[in-house]
Amino acid sequence: MAENSMQTREGIRAVLETFRHTPKAHVQSFGCQLNFCDGEKYKGILQDLGYELTETPEEADVILYNACAVRAHAESRVIGRLGALKPIYDKNPRLIVGLCGCMAEEQEVRALLKKSYPFVKLILGAGAMERLPESLLAVYRGEKHRESLEFAGLPDETLPTVRTSSFQASVPVMYGCNNFCTYCIVPYVRGRERSRTPEAVEQEVRGLIEQGYREILLLGQNVNSYGRGLQTEIGFPELLRRLDAIPGDYFIRFMSSHPKDATPELIDTMLHSQHIEHHLHLPVQCGSNRVLKEMNRNYTSEKYLELIDYTRGIAPDFGFSSDIIVGFPTETEADFQDTMRMIEYVRYDNLYTFIYSPRSGTKAAEMPFVSSQEEISDRMRRLLARQREISEAFNRRFIGKTVRFLAEKFDPDTKLLLGKTREGLVLEAPGSEQDVGKLLHVTVTDAKNWALTGEQQPLI
């Protein structure tokens, strides 16, 4: 350990020893999977420094909100929640409240907190995780406001992690984004693309599988550009093949895939694998070529559909899900109809739908709206209604089939297990608490728009 980080740890330890109780820390993450994954590292660092983790903010000595900047609405909710911590701070002025993650990278957010929420003394940008100990110490030593904003490098491979689950684990393969879709704030708050080495990823995944993890979720803003810029360049399909060769019983999932970089090689790799899900999250955002161009997505709807056709030509049941933005500033009803045609053609099994949210500093934030908010809400309503029917019809194709299923939760009232199949579909099946965390064989007996229902098959 570097000399100064040793000194920092000792400095914090000395402060914590003056407490008359066990020092406690509360970390709450909001937003995407990558944020939750970062949150597990913040927890690891705090635990390593001597804090006990707590789910109760009222009893914490450090509270970190690790928040997402992608949409304005979620951001205002976090500001509201930060505001609600003020009475806790008033009772315990030694409490350190911090904001970290993408949201902390925004200049406007930092200015607002400094002015109106001075009890939020710690600001830690996405990718400045390593700076948490020294920032805490600075605040303990009297600094009123400490900002650390760095996102150029990769997080230290040796950072401790407190994993939330004992059978599902997220593993980032790359950070940042180079795409600058015109609506999106991510490249501004997460910096440029950089990939972890395949050796580092493989070592982590192997370790998790050896510990008994059953689902590995590989994360990146655009996993299909994984490997660019590494000393030995390697593509994402090649990384997947290396991981798939690790012995064990587990699923590999990944997100997100930018359609401009998703290839038939990726699909072939998935279909020929032992462990990779037979499902691809391929966010199309919109079905109109004009809007796609204005979004700077770098593909057309025809190009997008080529990959869908290629896949379904080989594997007709292969599932796709997508993100859709409704109400991009220049979106007209005709553009929206193109999106409706897209969902009709692809028959997504699931859609993550978002009303466009202007983010300051992005190109689209300068574009005037051509539709009213009422028209936009009405489009969203129509999209969701049609998608419910499509999901149900698609899901029904599995009735009678036997699938692999990872049981994630058990509800003692209904005695039902809830989890996901290798095809990425939500499934419910009768079971018991002991089944949680296991990969089971289930025969699908029914299907609704949001889930399949199944019966467990005895192990042969």
How deeply is 52 buried, as exposed, middle or buried, from its count of CB atoms within 10 A (0-12, 13-18, 19+)?
middle
Residue owning tokens 């499509």: 390
CA–CA gap between residue 402 and residue 443 (Å, rounded): 4
Longest dimension (CA), the chain: 67
What is the size of the binding site for ligand SAH (CB under 6 A)?
A: 17
195 binds, among ligand SF4, ligand SAH, none (CB under 5 to 8 A by kind): none
CB-based contact 301:288 (threshold 8 Å) = yes
* Closest to ligand SAH by CB, 191 or 419: 191
The answer to whether the Cα torsion of 204, 206, 207, 208 is positive or negative is: positive
The number of CA neighbours under 13 Å toward the Cβ of 104 is: 29
The tokens describing 376, both together, are: 């936009």
Query: Whole-number minimum distance, CB 184 to ligand SAH, in Å?
Result: 4
Nearer to ligand SAH, 32 or 208 (CB): 32
Burial of 18 (0-12, 13-18, 19+ CB in 10 A): exposed
- For the CB of residue 183, give the shortest distance to ligand SF4 in the complex, in Å: 7
When binding is defined by CB under 6 A, the residue of 43, 258, 379, 404 that contacts ligand SAH is 258
User: Do the Cβ atoms of 346 and 318 come closer than 8 Å?
Assistant: no
Q: How many CA atoms lie within 13 A of 260 on its CB side?
A: 15
Q: Which residues bind ligand SF4 (CB under 6 A)?
A: 177, 179-181, 184, 186-187, 221-222, 258
CA dihedral (334, 338, 339, 345) positive or negative: positive
Binding flag, residue 323, ligand SAH (CB under 6 A): yes
The Cα–Cα gap between 266 and 437 comes to 28
* 101, 31 contact by CB (below 8 A): yes
Closest CB 256 distance from ligand SAH, rounded Å: 4
Cα–Cα distance measured from residue 460 to residue 166, given in angstroms and rounded to the nearest whole number: 26
Residue 71 binds what, of ligand SF4, ligand SAH, none (CB under 5 to 8 Å, by partner type)? ligand SAH
Straight-line distance from the first to the last Cα atom of the chain, in angstroms, rounded to the nearest whole number: 50
Element spanning 122, H or E: strand 120-125
Residues numbered 389-448 forming contacts with ligand SAH, rule: CB under 6 A: none
Taking CB under 6 A as the binding criterion, the range among 355-363, 401-409, 430-438, 443-451 that sits at the site for ligand SAH is 355-363
Binding site partner of 357, from ligand SF4, ligand SAH, none, Cβ cut-off 5-8 A by kind: ligand SAH
Between 135 and 321, name the residue whose CB sits nearer to ligand SF4: 321
298 in contact with ligand SAH (CB under 6 A)? no
Q: Shortest approach of ligand SAH to residue 335 CB, angstroms?
A: 15
- Other C-beta atoms closer than 10 Å to the C-beta of 22 total 12
Task: List the single partner that 354 binds among ligand SAH, ligand SF4, none, CB under 5 to 8 Å by kind.
Answer: ligand SAH
- Strand 251-255 and strand 96-101: the pairing is unpaired
119 vs 369, beta carbon nearer ligand SAH: 369
356 binds, among ligand SF4, ligand SAH, none (CB under 5 to 8 A by kind): ligand SAH
Whole-number Cα distances in Å, 445 to 315, 420, 428, 440, 455: 22, 15, 10, 15, 7
Is the CB of 70 or the CB of 266 nearer to ligand SAH?
70
Closer to ligand SF4 at the Cβ: 163 or 363?
363
Sole binder of ligand SAH in the list 191, 283, 287, 329 (CB under 6 A): 283
Binding mask 357-396 for ligand SAH (x = CB under 6 A): x-x-------------------------------------
- Please give the residues from 171 up to 200 whose contact with ligand SAH meets the rule CB under 6 A: 183-184, 186
For residue 285, the minimal CB distance to ligand SF4 (Å) is 8
Binding site for ligand SAH (CB under 6 A): 70-71, 183-184, 186, 221-222, 256, 258, 283, 285, 323, 325, 354, 356-357, 359
